[in-house]
Structure 1
Amino acid sequence: MPKYDAEAVRALIARRRPGHALESAFYTDPEVFRADMDAIFDQHWIYVAVECEVPEPGDALAVDIGASSVVIVRGDDEQVRAFHNVCRHRGARLLPPGPSIVGNLVCPYHAWTYGLDGALKFAEHMGEGFDPSCHGLRPVALRSVGGLLFVCLADTPPDDIDDLAQQIEPYLAPHDLRNTRVAHSADLIEYGNWKLVMENNRECYHCTPNHPELTIPLFAYGFGFAPEELTPEGQEQAERYETLRNASHAAWEAAGLPSRLIEHLDDRPTGFRTERLPLDGAGESQTMDTMAACRVPLGAIRDKAVGGLHFWTQPNSWHHLMSDHVVTFTALPLDKGRTLVRTKWLVHKDAVEGVDYDLEKLIDIWNVTNRQDADLVEMTQRGVADPAYVPGPYSPYTEGLVEKFMLWYLARLRAHLG
């Protein structure tokens, strides 16, 4: 039985006004948070890591998703697998969160020892009737999509991950994520409900007043605007962007770089969106000077000015892929009012820090943008908890993708509750 009041959650869903923000309880009620973990994070494909983080046999990575913990490990057969990070003896965690290098997975409590394929290899003092084959690690569904690793805790994961992979892998392939490495990783706790983190990511209404650094390479008009409110200068900028976007798409597609918009944010269990977008200035990378931060290109890309490929997945990830580096983000709920945002910057595996790239230049825009977003999320969490809060309407021009996130979330919640 669920550890929350399903009827109360259904009532909240039924009261929601289309095109409006959610009621306070969606962000502040522990019952709703438990429903979210049960219906969303325990049932859907969750982006957790990059395949290059486990490049060799014995490389392992432990990731927490709510109360669950998952171990991702590359076996001696080069296959990457995922298991519940729970010893089959008395439940001890096998590995702490983060990366490890292991010969076997050995429980630190009583030394039950598992192979990299999850099979129990050694358990002392268990007697003659004990059958090791019945006590291997419990597997977790895992899928690499072009080098991005997704796990699903459900016994029967959504099968549309296959179609997502078929559509998105041609977009990711030129960046050759499997031959990258993590140049830098940063964990930031945002003091807000996970949905506020995702809502904030799904719009750029807030970008111009709050992200002066990010809007150096990114066009403020790239995600919508109210045409009747534009000044002559704004109209000129909007037209310049649309002309550049159309011309860039045609040129990139002709060069073998899939670029045009694919959007399935609210019509399938594994919602996603992708498009290659032009960048301002030199058009090379998401850096302060809009030029490439790393001189070693990714994959077979030789033209530095191939814009930025953005790729979003519901419920918890967004990614930016340029010619020289990649930035990946995953949002993992900690409790109703805290969310872990994990950011990783990837460069070509042969790139050398201080020789091929300057780390500060590589990370500065998203480092400062993440902190700005964390402040905005915390400010909003405080506001939605205020008794005076009344859900307001979304902008039809700049918050349409927030509405699509909400439609996806509510549909998945409703489907799970029955």
Structure 2
Amino acid sequence: MLDVVQTPLKSLIARRRPGYTLEAPFYTSPQILQTDLDLIFGHHWIYVGVEPDVPEPGDVMVVDIGANSVLIVRDDDLGVKAFHNVCRHRGARLVHEPKTTVGNLVCGYHQWTYNLEGKLVHADHMGKDFDPGCHGLKPVHLRSLAGLLFICLSDDPPADFDEMAAVMTPYIAPHDIANCKVIHQSDLIELGNWKLTMENNRECYHCSANHPELTIPLFAYGFGFSPDSVDETELKQAQRYEQMVCDLGAQWEADGLPSREVDRLDDMVTGYRTQRLPIDRDGESQTIDTKVASKKLLGQFTNSKLGGLSFWTQPNSWHHFMSDHIVTFSVIPLDAERTLLRTKWLVHKDAVEGVDYDLENVIGVWVATNDQDGTLVGWAQAGARSQAYEPGPYSPYTEMLVDKFCNWYIGRLNALLPR
């Protein structure tokens, strides 16, 4: 597939204008989408879920990325492993449900059976010279970053995951993902290219006009503003916000909770960014009333006012960690003009629904925001199809992270395309 688009794609890359949106084929071409699957989703660390997705031995989760299906399983030693979801006999899919629990992994076609370590333990009628040791499941590289699960389909995954993990583990570990549970998952199909979903996430230029729920807990100033286009009152509010970031950040750091901004979005292969930011009003959680949605706080937290830790990764995820709950997002292309946005909400594993938390309160802000964003992505996709579309300029004040996403994407294609 790569040779079909190699020359025109290289031309598109060469004439990419920094600070501007990508040309239309990046959003509409099935050939470029296949290249994205091969080179971006096939060679980088892809966020796929959390350790509580497979809490007990035998628990299995399936993730599909393009033509590849990957099963993630908790083994009997409580380790988490990933394998290609392909039987080594005649290639049938092993697990068909998104989540299940098994004793062994049994192929429904001819009953070849694998243990939770991926070893072939049963295969009838194969003859005395057959070596089952040569027919175990094919492993997929998997890493857990303080409970966030990333896979890499490449035989040679980027080595800088360790660099990201060394920085991010102290930020995420206090939220104790291992002792959380997933209380809700939303799979939303957005009618747009996956890059439009990611670009939309990387800015809040659109927030005040489109996200009435999200802008209750979140300060729009946290995502940039233009100082020459605000009045005196708005400027004072922005200055107050910056002071809160400074004061609360220092307080959280002093309490052993890393909070400072780290931005490596476009200067690493495994690009990422993080920062802990204040929450407005009561300052506790990303909820409609800005109070905690779960009375059972995460980890060892006793202070509910810990702001929101945001963590972004290239190419496909973002996450929000509060004192009481966690929201994670993964983006997976379905085709050139459809994208799966998968959102998971986690609370403490001992929190009881109806006693410690109300589900609708936990998920309300981001269910509404995701629906609104899906509409916006669809509008952008419709525009990219038009003959009138041409790359437009990003705001230097509020769309800096969008530009960094595109810089990273173009840079990685340029590095991985055949010369």
- TM-score w.r.t. the length of structure 1 is 0.99
Amino acid at match of 1:219: F
Residue in 1 that maps onto 2:408: 408
Amino acid at match of 1:320: H
Q: Structure 1 segments of 4 or more deviating over 2 A?
A: 1-4
Residue in 2 that maps onto 1:16: 16
Amino acid at match of 1:214: L
| Superposed counterparts of 1:193-272, under 5 Å | 193-272=193-272
Amino acid at match of 2:416: H
Check conservation: 1:4, 1:35, Cα contact below 8 A. no
TM-superposed deviation, 1:2: 3.0
TM-superposed deviation, 1:341: 0.3
SS at match of 1:71: strand
Partner deviation per Cα, 1:293-320 (whole Å, 9 max, x = no partner): 0000000111100000000000000000
TM-superposed deviation, 1:282: 0.6
Amino acid at match of 2:35: A
Partner deviation per Cα, 1:218-277 (whole Å, 9 max, x = no partner): 001111111011111211210111011100100000011000001100011100000000
TM-superposed deviation, 1:58: 0.7
TM-superposed deviation, 1:18: 1.0
Partner deviation per Cα, 1:323-347 (whole Å, 9 max, x = no partner): 0000000000000000000000000
CA distance in 1, matches of 2:295, 2:236: 33
Residue in 1 that maps onto 2:176: 176
Check conservation: 1:142, 1:149, Cα contact below 8 A. yes
Residue in 2 that maps onto 1:284: 284
TM-superposed deviation, 1:98: 1.4
Which runs of 5 or more residues in structure 1 are unaligned?
Answer: none
CA distance in 1, matches of 2:207, 2:368: 13
Amino acid at match of 2:194: W
Residue in 2 that maps onto 1:92: 92
TM-superposed deviation, 1:97: 4.1
Residue in 2 that maps onto 1:77: 77
Which runs of 5 or more residues in structure 2 are unaligned?
Answer: none
Amino acid at match of 2:101: I
Partner deviation per Cα, 1:376-414 (whole Å, 9 max, x = no partner): 000000001100011111000001100000010000001
Amino acid at match of 2:23: E
TM-superposed deviation, 1:4: 3.4
Residue in 1 that maps onto 2:350: 350
Residue in 2 that maps onto 1:329: 329
CA distance in 2, matches of 1:196, 1:72: 28
| Superposed counterparts of 1:122-133, under 5 Å | 122-133=122-133
CA distance in 2, matches of 1:366, 1:4: 40
Amino acid at match of 2:292: A
SS at match of 1:5: helix
Amino acid at match of 1:48: V
Check conservation: 1:63, 1:97, Cα contact below 8 A. no
State percent identity of aligned pairs. Answer: 61
Partner deviation per Cα, 1:321-379 (whole Å, 9 max, x = no partner): 00000000000000000000000000000001111000111011000000000000000
TM-superposed deviation, 1:3: 5.7
SS at match of 1:55: coil
RMSD of the alignment, in Å? Answer: 0.8
CA distance in 1, matches of 2:366, 2:76: 36
In structure 2, relative to structure 1, the CA distance for the partners of 1:271 and 1:121 (3 Å cut) is: same
Residue in 2 that maps onto 1:389: 389
Amino acid at match of 1:159: A
CA distance in 2, matches of 1:72, 1:10: 35
| Superposed counterparts of 1:294-309, under 5 Å | 294-309=294-309
CA distance in 1, matches of 2:274, 2:143: 18
CA distance in 2, matches of 1:218, 1:112: 52
In structure 2, relative to structure 1, the CA distance for the partners of 1:262 and 1:97 (3 Å cut) is: farther
> Structure 1 residue 318 and structure 2 residue 341: aligned?
no
CA distance in 1, matches of 2:333, 2:97: 15
Check conservation: 1:28, 1:193, Cα contact below 8 A. yes
- TM-score w.r.t. the length of structure 2 is 0.99
Residue in 2 that maps onto 1:160: 160
Partner deviation per Cα, 1:112-136 (whole Å, 9 max, x = no partner): 0001000100011111111101100
CA distance in 1, matches of 2:343, 2:335: 19
SS at match of 1:126: coil
Partner deviation per Cα, 1:136-183 (whole Å, 9 max, x = no partner): 000000000000000000000001111111100000011000100001
